[in-house]
Structure 1
């Protein structure tokens, strides 16, 4: 089996409000709107984040996005009006910052900085 694409789904109740929030988070409008209540941001080749109107599952998703520079990512998000809170180092060698969307889904940005030796 060859995997060609992977989609992470962020379920929300208020789709239009959440769409505006994700546009600020990603710094651009959705790349695709395949159907009513679904928006999609292509974040890497073969990988996309989908925003889905799904009140029954809203607020239960967790997404980790690997980035080159967590501090720069947090600063860019702050410039677009969203506060990620503190950037922190983990014992496992990652620099992370997290933010919750309006539904309560959590998006974490993580930078692999290696384990201090």
Structure 2
């Protein structure tokens, strides 16, 4: 039985990496078990680990669900100087999405549900507010 998930990205300098990811995620790490490592619980049971080491070329993207992708893009451009972050959509796909890179080459992105009722239902299910 799978009940949790972690995903890890590597950065060459943990202090710079932790600060950068604190800005993206809008919060401090939830867990720092040892030097060179920080973890954020993004939603219950879903963790992002940032570890000091050699970044993996060509990984990702890890995409995070947001409620307003345009607003988040504007924030990252302003706060982190993200330059390449184009938002895409297709009629047959229920979300808009975009990808960008962290300073170490890790591929990240955001997505936003186009149907806001479906988005709110998803949020409630994930947070355990309604049963499936």
TM-score class normalised by the smaller sequence: 0.7 to 0.9
In our comparison, the structure showing a higher alpha carbon Rg is: 2
Task: In structure 2, list runs of 5 or more residues that go unmatched.
Answer: 116-132
Task: Give deviations 1:38-64, integer Å, cap 9, x for gaps.
Answer: 101111011111101231x43443111
Point out the structure with the larger helix share.
2
Give the structure-1-normalised TM-score.
0.79
Q: Give the secondary structure class of the aligned counterpart of 1:33.
A: coil
Structure 2 CA distance for partners of 1:105 and 1:90, relative to 1, 3 Å: farther
Name the structure 2 match of 1:50. Answer: 49
Point out the structure with the larger strand share.
1
Name the structure 2 match of 1:74. Answer: 73
Residue pairs, 1:70-109, within 5 angstroms: 70-83=69-82, 85-90=85-90, 92-109=93-110
Runs of 4+ in 1 over 3 A off after TM superposition: 57-60
Name the structure 2 match of 1:16. Answer: 15
Give 1:24 shift.
1.3
For 1:60 and 1:15, locate their aligned partners in 2 and report how far apart those are by CA, in whole Å.
Answer: 20
Task: In structure 1, list runs of 5 or more residues that go unmatched.
Answer: none
